[in-house]
Amino acid sequence: MYKDHPAMMAVPLPLIPLTSELTLAACADWALVLDAVGIPYESRTTSAGSSLWVLPADHARAARELQNYLLENRRPLAAPVVWPNHPHAIYGVIGYVLVLIAVTLASLERAGSRDWHDAGVLDAGFLVRNEGWRVLTALTLHGDLLHLLSNLAFGALFGYPAARLFGPGVAWLLILLGGGLAYGVDALLHPPHHHLLGASTAVFTALGLVAAYGWRRHLRNWSPWMRRSAPLIGGIALLAFTGTGGENTDLLAHLAGFVVGTGLGALCARLPMPPPGNMALQWAAGLVTLALLATAWGLALA
């Protein structure tokens, strides 16, 4: 039971109730309000809870002060962030793995009696020669087994959460388009003799996509700055640890992929995205992704 206001020691009854039964903490807060404005009160505690009592002459003023206090301290409740959770995200990862392995085997076997490496590798002159398909074909070529295995592992690691957020078809379509755009920008910033290949640019596009989408979605919440920025900070940290090693690592390609993915993720966070369960749309997006790759390789090998 709270200590009664000192002025109540000399005040005779009767008193009238100002509040109904409150929790002990709420009663303490309201009592502090009355103390601050100098209104005498008495606190009473029963098995049902705590209550405040005041003189009849002070009742209207006390009620007004408490109402003002509640209005001033009311905070809008932010709608909870609902994270999409698309099913069958593993299908996109399986498709990614199969495509890279299929292109690698075709390149090693020189399928169709063609040099797949020369036909699909990217260089700065691709625009002059009207060979825009190279920005996609180069994403599926690799220099050696270690290069392939690392991109398979990291592609699955970053592509799976992207597929959970956007759906397997939409996610990999965004990753392919973003990776192709980043590769094109990267190629134009290199000298003509520099050749580009490997899926790592698309891998970092997936990383930026997931990081920025989480960051922008958190901005809708009333939460501390660090909590809102945690997904983006995590993405940059992963970029630093996984994207800057190795003698032949193309740092600019990784950075370009991450920047493009970040832009796509921030944009998608502001747009209405397909809800989980719409598998017809996901299959359509997945088929478009495969059709783009097949068309690019068809043009490369023609």
| Residue 238, both tokens | 């992963």
pLDDT score, position 218: 63
Q: How far apart are CA 297 and CA 27, in angstroms?
A: 73
pLDDT score, position 23: 78
Claim to verify: residue 156 and residue 235 sit in the same structural domain:
yes
Residues in the chain, how many? 302
AA letter at 227: R
Claim to verify: residue 49 and residue 130 sit in the same structural domain:
no
pLDDT score, position 3: 45
pLDDT score, position 76: 55
Claim to verify: residue 211 and residue 67 sit in the same structural domain:
no
Claim to verify: residue 25 and residue 172 sit in the same structural domain:
no
Burial 107-138 (b: 16+ CB within 10 A, else e): beeeeeeeebbebbbbbbebeeeebebbbbbb
DSSP string, 220-285: TS---HHHHHHHHHHHHHHHHHHSS-STT--HHHHHHHHHHHHHHHHHHHHSPPPPTT-HHHHHHH
Task: Report whether 122 contacts 182 (CB < 8 A).
Answer: no
Residue 83, domain member (yes or no) = no
pLDDT score, position 167: 93
| Residue 202, both tokens | 């698309």
Residue 127, domain member (yes or no) = yes
| Residue 112, both tokens | 């169709």
Claim to verify: residue 67 and residue 144 sit in the same structural domain:
no
Claim to verify: residue 191 and residue 137 sit in the same structural domain:
yes
Residue 35 Cα distances to 68, 194, 202, angstroms = 15, 77, 63
Claim to verify: residue 104 and residue 219 sit in the same structural domain:
yes
Residue 254, domain member (yes or no) = yes
Claim to verify: residue 125 and residue 238 sit in the same structural domain:
yes
Claim to verify: residue 190 and residue 64 sit in the same structural domain:
no
Q: Domain span at residue 297? A: 89-301
Claim to verify: residue 107 and residue 210 sit in the same structural domain:
yes
Counting Cα atoms < 13 Å in the Cβ hemisphere of 277 gives: 1
Query: Which domain-ending residue is among 72, 104, 120?
Result: 72
Give me the tens of pLDDT residue by residue for the chain, a chain 302 residues long: 344 555 444 444 466 677 667 777 788 888 888 888 889 988 888 777 788 888 888 888 888 888 888 887 765 544 555 567 888 999 999 999 999 999 999 999 888 788 899 999 998 888 888 999 999 999 999 988 988 998 999 899 899 999 999 999 999 999 999 999 999 998 888 887 788 899 999 999 999 999 888 777 765 544 455 455 556 666 665 666 565 555 566 788 888 999 999 999 999 988 888 888 889 999 999 999 999 999 999 999 98
DSSP 221: S
CATH code at 120? 1.20.1540.10
Residue for token pair 């945690």: 230
pTM over 0.75? The answer is no
By C-alpha distance, which of 251, 236, 242, 138 is closest to 190?
251
Claim to verify: residue 93 and residue 68 sit in the same structural domain:
no
Q: How many domains does the chain have?
A: 2
pLDDT score, position 237: 57
